[in-house]
Amino acid sequence: MSAKLTILGFNSAIPTVNSSPTAQLLEMGERLFLIDCGEGTQVQMRRAKAKFSKINHIFISHLHGDHCFGLPGLISSFRLLGRETPLHIYGPKGIKEMLETIFRLSETNKGFELVYHELTSKKSELIFEDNKVEVFTIPLDHRIYCNGYLFKEKPKDRHLNMQEIVKYPEIETCDYHLLKKGKDFVLSDGFVLKNENLTKDPNPSVSYAFCSDTRYNESIIPIIEGVDVLYHEATFLHELKEMADFTGHTTALEAATIAQKAKVGKLILGHFSNRYLDVSVFKKEAEPIFAPTYLPKVLEVVTI
């Protein structure tokens, strides 16, 4: 099964009638991850018909409002919906103080456990892992401490080659699990049946890199190299590169350059400044450098 990315919001600081600040839902390895949570995220989640109860891990890139101001309201909604399971929140140091202050002053009883994973490292680190997915930080260069996130599926199980397996009555259903994991099978007479003859190659694992607000930063290239899909902010066109550098952002040309040097499969641009009424200009600037460049659409589901 492929991973699916739902674009909940992609514009910069100010919400508009037709778009919301940054927020994405990533379905990977049968898990549902929320990435950033700008204002209005839970409304967009309703529109996307997302299952609130499936979200157990939220990843916040940094503490600017257009990336996290939707979080207190979403957590309150979880409580009103009767949530009891713990919710894990990954984000910069200070996110716990921010949220707990809001809950204290508003006398909000959460009703379930919030597990905070506060980040401080300026080097890429593994912050989440289960039997199907790994998540690494991508250190970015913004005005305040900021991370992107790299989501990687672990290698999938091999497919059983039943045409071969049925030739050997000694292979029972209880042996299938080890075969899927790549193990050979030893017959009672000691003969070894090679796994590659009993199984077929697994479906390829996929990867997704989310790069939030950042200046042009080639140090991220080794981390995101070869990912299937890269989301990278592109707040300005390159004619405003000085402003981009000053405000801690990237131009469309620079985002395309990162994608080209990292040899990614597809680039999705986002976080456009509201000064641009026609966002097609971002794609026009990026495509000559990196052809598979795409612009997001509200509530669009991107298959990875």
- Domains of the chain by residue range: 4-156+203-303, 159-200
Among 36, 66, 213, 228, which one carries the catalytic annotation?
66
Mean pLDDT of 75-101: 96
The pLDDT of residue 1 = 58
Q: Tell me the average pLDDT of the chain.
A: 95
| Percent of the chain residues past pLDDT 70, beyond the cut | 100
Which whole number is the average pLDDT over 42-50?
96
Look at the domain 4-156+203-303 and name its fold. Answer: Metallo-beta-lactamase; Chain A (3.60.15)
pTM: 0.91
Output the DSSP codes for the chain.
---EEEEEE-B-SS--SS--BSEEEEEETTEEEEEEE-TTHHHHHHHTT--GGGEEEEE---SSHHHHTTHHHHHHHHHHTT--S-EEEEEETTHHHHHHHHHHHTT----S-EEEEEE--SS--EEEE-SSEEEEEEE--SSS--EEEEEEEPPPPPEE-HHHHTT-TT--GGGHHHHHTT--EE-TTSPEEPHHHHEEPPPPP-EEEEE-S----GGGHHHHTT-SEEEEE--B-GGGHHHHHHHT--BHHHHHHHHHHHT-SEEEEE-B-TT-S-THHHHHHHTTT-SSEE---TT-EEE-
Residue 66 annotated in active site: yes
pLDDT tens digits for range 168-215: 988 999 989 999 999 998 888 989 889 999 899 888 899 999 999 999
The predicted-structure confidence for 251-282, as pLDDT tens digits, reads as follows 999 999 999 999 999 999 999 999 998 999 99
